[in-house]
Structure 1
Amino acid sequence: MDERDFLAGRFEAHRDHLRAVAYRMLGSLSEADDAVQEAWLRLSRSDTDEIENLGGWLTTVVGRVCLNMLRARTARREEPLDVHVPDPVISSPDNFTPEHEALMADSVGLALLVVLETLTPAERLAFVLHDMFAVPFDEIAPIVGRTSTATRQLASRARRRVQSAAPAPDANLAQQREVVDAFLAAARTGDFNGLLAVLDPDVVVRTDGGSLRPSTTRRGAKLVAGGAIIFSQIAELTRPAIVNGAPGAVAISGSRPISLAAFTVARGKVVALDILTDPDRLHDLDLTFLDD
């Protein structure tokens, strides 16, 4: 085995971790792969004898690459997005895929990723690296070009926004599934009171329709219940799924998916519902498990 093959083997041992970092930073699976590949290119051009902690070095490199990608993304936007649902990681409710297990090792729901999209690039980096991956502020500070104290403040500001907008889901997945199943059953039968029974009074529904459809945010149990009943009349079939480690559902009409929904269940109620209806992005999702 030559030196490059040996280095490649060491890099591969960190790939899953690096992809998890990049996914949380970018909310895009393809961009996460690009960031990890860029980290490999930088490693292959570096003097590895100078690297004492390869895992830490690679995490820092991926963080820097992602920060640059986020800043470029922000600069390209003429207007801020109202709602953007990041790329979901989807599995059958009966079987997590290896990709799902790797990305969701420290489970991050779609609702949390939606909130992360509202942070500034520097806030997102500080929060993700420190709060999710325990990277010390002294190591994050050079990436964002700030002092350790200022970096700590970035993370604190991001943390407050996340905690207020993305409630922590209940721990028991089976109990979450029961709540979601009750929601879907009530929607199918037009049971308005049944929907109110499983919806938090302040439930929020965020819908990302892509560039051709308006993105919307709805709040309040009565408004959400009414919308769920109307939509259930459009969908011919709804299949359960696991979306980012939490219960979800795929709505199908005319043999094609028309929406993907991720539920956040807290205190036994649905507190958030993030829905992707962008036809182009739905077309790109791997939904082969629906055919099982």
Structure 2
Amino acid sequence: MTTDLAAEHHDELRPLMFSIAYRMLGSVAEAEDVVQEAFLRLHRTPAEEVRSVSAYAVTVTTRLAIDQLRSARVRRERYVGSWLPEPLLATDVESDPAVRAERADSLSLAFLVVLETLSPVERAVFLLRELFGYDYDEIARIVEKSVVNCRQIFTRASRRIAAGEPRFEASRERRDDLARAFFAACETGDITVLEELLAEDVVFDGDGGGKAPAIARPIQGRVQVARFLLGIIRQVATFGGRLEPTMVNGQPGGRMVDAEGRLAAIFELQIADGQVRALRNVLNPDKLRHLGPLVDPASLPGAGRRPREG
């Protein structure tokens, strides 16, 4: 009787495989495709040829993700506007095997954006070593490089990540308190309080992908961001919509929904040093489909329009 390793180990392996693929690609849909293809390959491989099911799954997932990322990077060079990763909500994050207390920020949109500065192989080596704890011998086998080369790749990648790595609030309690104050100010429209919660050089970035109204380039500065944000909330309210706090990629964030609860946008807050330092807003419907029914972007005239100067 032939053992179907893919079926037997599916529930055990899938969280790890998706965790690797998603961090590599920043795309839920592409990560799902990679995981599915990896399971199909495991299904087609005779059990006697697989020494370690986990090692096989991680190897195939990583190699497929590297190939997919090489292709995706070409498409991203032609992407309309800012590119942001596809967001995950709380239930997806809770099942991520790499999210430990000391590495919880590794799933944030902010951190995934920094990972984009790495080449596909650099990204794989860095993630496997830094987040998933694989030793260099294992990583060398997975990416088909020498151990010495993998050490060099990791050192180079670590320096690049350190140069752009976003800061986060060390105290989760303080972070969550500030997020609650932020959403309270948004609800009441208190621009004075909102400005106090924003860092002086706060940045608001938006990803519409040319398929939803979004800002052409990031907005910077507490006054500009506060005015723009409250303007968006007023626009949402005109069609009976609302802003709902939620957790996005392990960080405080919000859902903008219409009167029927259909999703218009997801944004993540980056909080550090007692202030909101950045907001990343995903409006591209292709990046939100996995989160439920969506608002028709065409029904949101003016949403995401850059405010006039002055």
TM-score (norm 2): 0.78
Offset from partner CA, 1:91-135 (integer Å, 9 cap, x none): 4xxxxx3x4321375131122122223432122212211111112
Q: Which moved more, 1:219-228 or 1:119-128?
A: 219-228
**Among candidates 243, 250, 253, match of residue 255 of structure 2:** 250
Tell me the percent identity.
35
SS in 1 for 2:151: helix
- Give the superposition deviation at 1:281: 3.7
- Give the superposition deviation at 1:65: 0.7
Distance in 2, Cα, partners of 1:83 & 1:115: 13
Which residues of structure 2 form unaligned runs of 5+? 295-310
Which residues of structure 1 form unaligned runs of 5+? 92-96
Distance in 1, Cα, partners of 2:188 & 2:114: 32
Distance in 1, Cα, partners of 2:9 & 2:259: 47
Q: Which residue of 1 aligns with 2:291?
A: 285
Distance in 2, Cα, partners of 1:7 & 1:104: 19
CA separation of 1:194/1:158 partners in 2, compared to 1, >3 Å: closer, same or farther?
Answer: farther
Q: Which residue of 1 aligns with 2:85?
A: 86
Distance in 2, Cα, partners of 1:235 & 1:205: 17
Q: Which residue of 1 aligns with 2:202?
A: 203
Distance in 2, Cα, partners of 1:104 & 1:13: 11
Distance in 2, Cα, partners of 1:246 & 1:268: 14
Do the aligned partners of 1:104 and 1:244 also contact (CA within 8 Å) in 2? no
Distance in 2, Cα, partners of 1:82 & 1:164: 24
CA separation of 1:78/1:206 partners in 2, compared to 1, >3 Å: closer, same or farther?
Answer: closer
- Give the superposition deviation at 1:139: 3.0
Distance in 2, Cα, partners of 1:279 & 1:35: 21
Letter in 1 for 2:283: T
CA separation of 1:16/1:195 partners in 2, compared to 1, >3 Å: closer, same or farther?
Answer: same
Q: Is 2:158 the counterpart of 1:159? A: yes
CA separation of 1:280/1:16 partners in 2, compared to 1, >3 Å: closer, same or farther?
Answer: closer
Do the aligned partners of 2:205 and 2:280 also contact (CA within 8 Å) in 1? yes
Letter in 2 for 1:231: I
SS in 1 for 2:85: coil
Q: Is 2:278 the counterpart of 1:272? A: yes
* 1:87-126 correspondence to structure 2 within 5 Å: 87-91=86-90, 97=91, 99-103=92-96, 106=99, 107=104, 108-126=107-125
Distance in 1, Cα, partners of 2:204 & 2:44: 46
- Give the superposition deviation at 1:174: 4.1
* 1:231-246 correspondence to structure 2 within 5 Å: 231-236=232-237, 237-246=242-251
* 1:1-292 correspondence to structure 2 within 5 Å: 2-5=1-4, 8-77=7-76, 79=78, 82-91=81-90, 97=91, 99-103=92-96, 106=99, 107=104, 108-212=107-211, 213-214=213-214, 215-236=216-237, 237-253=242-258, 255=260, 256-286=262-292
Offset from partner CA, 1:49-72 (integer Å, 9 cap, x none): 343332122211110010011112
Offset from partner CA, 1:2-37 (integer Å, 9 cap, x none): 432466313442121111111111122222222122
- Give the superposition deviation at 1:150: 3.3
For these two proteins, the number of residue pairs brought into alignment is: 281
CA separation of 1:205/1:150 partners in 2, compared to 1, >3 Å: closer, same or farther?
Answer: farther
Distance in 2, Cα, partners of 1:153 & 1:231: 46
Q: Which moved more, 1:210-219 or 1:198-207?
A: 210-219
Offset from partner CA, 1:109-168 (integer Å, 9 cap, x none): 122122223432122212211111112233333554543333333333333343343424
TM-score (norm 1): 0.83
Task: Provide the aligned C-alpha RMSD in A.
Answer: 2.8
